[in-house]
Amino acid sequence: MLAASGDLWPELIAFESDSRVLSTPSAAHLYIDAVQRIKRPMSDTQRPSSRLPGFFKRSLAERAAIVSQWAGLETDEQTVLLGISGLTPNQAEHMIENVIGTYTLPLGIAVNFLINGRDYLIPMVVEEASVVAGASYAARLVRAGGGFVTSSDDPVMIGQIQVLDVDDVYVAAGQVMAIKDRLLAEANSRDPVIVELGGGARDVEVRPLMETPAGPMLIVHLLYDVRDAMGANTVNTACEHLAPIIEEVTGGRVNLRILSNLADRRLATAECTIPPDVLATDELSGADVVRGIVEAYAFAAADPYRAATHNKGVMNGMDAVCIATGNDWRALEAGAHAYAARSGRYTSMSEWWADGEGNLCGRLKLPVAVGMVGGATRVHPTARVALKILGVSSARELAEVMVAVGLAQNLAAIRALATTGIQAGHMRLHARQLAIAAGASGELLQRVVEAMIAEGAIRLDRAQELVKELRG
Ligand code: NAD
């Protein structure tokens, strides 16, 4: 287990107490050499605890070194973390069109995650303050109750084929189902790699839509196990291949052939149970906090206005992991919100309740269409490093980690809202950002922040005045 004490890292402390030193390549290489000298990482079976007290108090370089050792990162992977290497404009040019550069965001690590008895450090890419801290804090609470328990479906995506201009939609549905085996075999012929890996077409379903603005139509669903891919390209290719066959047997006309982002055959679930005493604050008993959180959930369950914000908190965590791992966060968002509206009324993605012993119990079940191959996951150098830090071995495991992070993020938000409110923490961070914008750094930065908080005046003009006064 990694010790939290600073004397484990003497080589590092020797030349970096200020992360700015890493902005020069030579200093960064000194740092990397030091990390290499520190004893080599342990194998996965000896994975150390993700409970890293005081991680947030360390310098950026120390944190990077701890994570590098924890995850066994190679030198080239460490240079990616430090921003010395990473996505180059040349690589970016092959990802999208009309590239003129690259755009960077902070990469943070949420600590304390214990999922199915395994420790995880969670890479999160997000521009919003408090997200990484919130996830880490909530994971510590959940850890006290034994950690997250997760499960997931096989990675089955849905491809949709829209069939129009048939004489009778129900007859056409029968014609499609009569050649189901042929359709499955044809779909499998498009991606022998996935079939070889145990995936491939699983089933065909038909859904007549009788009342649409364009009249009756038949929707054919292809259910396809995409293994460790997100699966959009794979499923779209299969659907395009099946379209002429479906036109031939139905005599109809196929319009759209595209996957559905409502990936409700690919659900991942995370659950947790937290003893009430762990939740107690200076002002509130554990039972009071449990009640407040359950009431907060009830509000989101009953009110779409609250549910939207409650669910945004869930997605704060899930999106950050999605982006860090090079996955498609729009696909994740679309699936999660559509699933939250599956009853016909938009509601809370998560559920919170108290069990018979007064423990706080939580559950998050969502479609999670993410991959470890394909898309940007293997192209983006930082995504590759993030996947290595996570140490997940399948897309299912990644999906389970993501719902655990979503549940943690949701807990952090509603716990704060049901106790002290979120502004206290936010305002400190906001004050810090304003002080930096006003030109403060080091000790002056701290003094400006404290002064603004004490005065209750957290504004840029006041930060600028304070910088002048305190410098004077
Ligand atoms: P992909 O086509 O890049 O990669 C998947 C391929 O990798 C498979 O076809 C397979 O041949 C190969 N492979 C190798 N090892 C594998 C393994 N262990 N498991 C599975 N496949 C393996 O990627 P994809 O996941 O099909 O598509 C994802 C991309 O599609 C994302 O970039 C997404 O943004 C984009 N996309 C999304 C939508 C949408 O969400 N509606 C639509 C179109 C495209």
pLDDT per residue as tens digits for the range 224-236: 999 999 999 999 9
Q: Where does 49-199 show beta strands of DSSP type E?
A: 107-115, 118-125, 149-152, 156-164
Nearest CA to ligand 1 atom 35: 232
Structural element, H or E, at residue 267: strand 267-274
Does residue 65 share a domain with residue 19?
yes
Nearest atom in ligand 1 to the alpha carbon of residue 334 is 40
For the chain, the 3-state helix, strand and coil shares in percent, each to the nearest 5, are 50, 15, 30
**pLDDT at residue 242, rounded to an integer:** 98
Nearest CA to ligand 1 atom 2: 233
**115 within 8 A of 142, measured Cβ to Cβ:** no
Which of 195, 230, 259 terminates a domain? The answer is 259
443 within domain boundaries: yes
Res. 310: pLDDT tops 50 = yes
Return the closest-CA partner of residue 261 out of 344, 337, 341: 337
| Known catalytic residue at 328 | yes
Given the residues 18, 33, 44, 128, the one annotated as active site: 128
CA of 391 to the centre of ligand 1 (A): 20
Q: Report the percent of the chain where pLDDT is more than 70.
A: 89
Nearest atom in ligand 1 to the alpha carbon of residue 235 is 26
Q: Is residue 197 lining ligand 1, measured as CB closer than 6 Å?
A: yes
> Which alpha helices (H) appear in 162-270, and where do they start and end?
169-178, 180-188, 192-196, 232-250
CA of 238 to the centre of ligand 1 (A): 12
Q: Is residue 32 lining ligand 1, measured as CB closer than 6 Å?
A: no
Q: Report the percent of the chain where pLDDT is more than 90.
A: 81
Does residue 392 share a domain with residue 343?
yes
What are the tens digits of pLDDT across the range 454-470? 998 999 999 999 999 99
Res. 31: pLDDT tops 90 = no
The larger pLDDT score, comparing residue 14 to residue 185, is at: 185
What is the side-by-side order of every strand in the sheet holding 267-274?
149-152, 267-274, 360-367, 350-354
Which of 398, 418, 438 terminates a domain? The answer is 418
**pLDDT at residue 433, rounded to an integer:** 87
Q: pTM of the full predicted structure?
A: 0.86
Confidence band for 2, pLDDT divided at 50, 70 and 90? very low
DSSP states of 35-55: HHHSPPPPPGGGPPPS--TTG
**399 within 8 A of 229, measured Cβ to Cβ:** no
Does residue 413 share a domain with residue 335?
yes
**pLDDT at residue 41, rounded to an integer:** 41
Which of 83, 115, 142 terminates a domain? The answer is 83
103 within domain boundaries: no
9 within domain boundaries: yes
204 within domain boundaries: yes
Q: How many CB atoms lie within 10 A of CB 400?
A: 23
Does residue 41 share a domain with residue 4?
yes
Q: What's the rounded Cα separation, in Å, for the pair 121 and 108?
A: 10
Ligand 1 test: best mutation among 328, 394, 398, most atoms within 8 Å of CB?
Answer: 328
CATH code assigned at 356: 3.90.770.10
| Known catalytic residue at 57 | no
Confidence band for 32, pLDDT divided at 50, 70 and 90? low
CATH code assigned at 236: 3.30.70.420
Q: Is residue 229 lining ligand 1, measured as CB closer than 6 Å?
A: yes
Burial-class residue 344 by CB neighbours within 10 Å (0-12, 13-18, 19+).
exposed
Does residue 187 share a domain with residue 288?
no
Confidence band for 420, pLDDT divided at 50, 70 and 90? confident
C-alpha pair distances (Å), 138 with each of 163, 287, 365, 394: 48, 17, 18, 25
Among 79-88, 134-143, 300-309, name the one with the lowest average pLDDT. Answer: 79-88
Nearest atom in ligand 1 to the alpha carbon of residue 230 is 25
Angle between helix 381-390 and 304-324 (nearest 10)? 100
Q: How many residues does the chain have?
A: 472
| Known catalytic residue at 248 | no
CA of 374 to the centre of ligand 1 (A): 4
The larger pLDDT score, comparing residue 314 to residue 42, is at: 314
Does residue 393 share a domain with residue 276?
yes
93 within domain boundaries: no
Burial-class residue 380 by CB neighbours within 10 Å (0-12, 13-18, 19+).
buried
C-alpha pair distances (Å), 164 with each of 170, 186, 239, 246: 12, 21, 15, 11
Does residue 255 share a domain with residue 271?
no
CA of 149 to the centre of ligand 1 (A): 28
Nearest CA to ligand 1 atom 34: 328
What are the tens digits of pLDDT across the range 153-165? 999 999 999 999 9
Given the residues 328, 337, 365, 380, the one annotated as active site: 328
Q: Is the C-alpha dihedral spanning 270, 275, 281, 286 positive or negative?
A: positive
Return the closest-CA partner of residue 119 out of 404, 320, 384, 406: 404
Q: Is residue 328 lining ligand 1, measured as CB closer than 6 Å?
A: yes
Nearest atom in ligand 1 to the alpha carbon of residue 192 is 11
Among 80-89, 235-244, 343-352, name the one with the lowest average pLDDT. Answer: 80-89
Q: Which position has the token pair 């342990």?
A: 42
430 within domain boundaries: yes
CA of 218 to the centre of ligand 1 (A): 26
**pLDDT at residue 45, rounded to an integer:** 54
Identify residue 391 by its one-letter amino acid code.
G
**pLDDT at residue 378, rounded to an integer:** 86
Residue 358 CA to its chain's centroid (Å): 30
Return the closest-CA partner of residue 151 out of 358, 399, 393, 422: 399
Q: Is the C-alpha dihedral spanning 192, 196, 199, 204 positive or negative?
A: positive
**pLDDT at residue 14, rounded to an integer:** 37
Does residue 386 share a domain with residue 296?
yes
CATH code assigned at 464: 1.10.8
Does residue 255 share a domain with residue 341?
no
Q: How many structural domains does the chain have? A: 4
What are the tens digits of pLDDT across the range 82-110? 877 889 999 999 999 999 999 999 999 99
Q: What is the mean pLDDT of residues 267-287?
A: 96
What's the half-sphere exposure (Cβ side, CA atoms, 13 Å) at 406? 32
Q: Is residue 234 lining ligand 1, measured as CB closer than 6 Å?
A: yes
Beta bridge partners of 149: 271
Does residue 378 share a domain with residue 299?
yes
The end-to-end CA distance of the chain, in Å, is 47
Return the closest-CA partner of residue 420 out of 286, 289, 275, 272: 289
Domain residues for 348?
A: 266-418
- Exposure string (b/e) for 22-37, b if CB count within 10 Å is 16 or more? beeeebbbbbbebbee
Does residue 272 share a domain with residue 249?
no
Does residue 398 share a domain with residue 297?
yes
438 within domain boundaries: yes
99 within domain boundaries: no
| Cα 414–Cα 121–Cα 7 angle in degrees, nearest 5 | 115
Return the closest-CA partner of residue 300 out of 359, 340, 248: 340
Confidence band for 26, pLDDT divided at 50, 70 and 90? low
> Which alpha helices (H) appear in 41-112, and where do they start and end?
60-71, 75-81, 89-93
| Known catalytic residue at 128 | yes
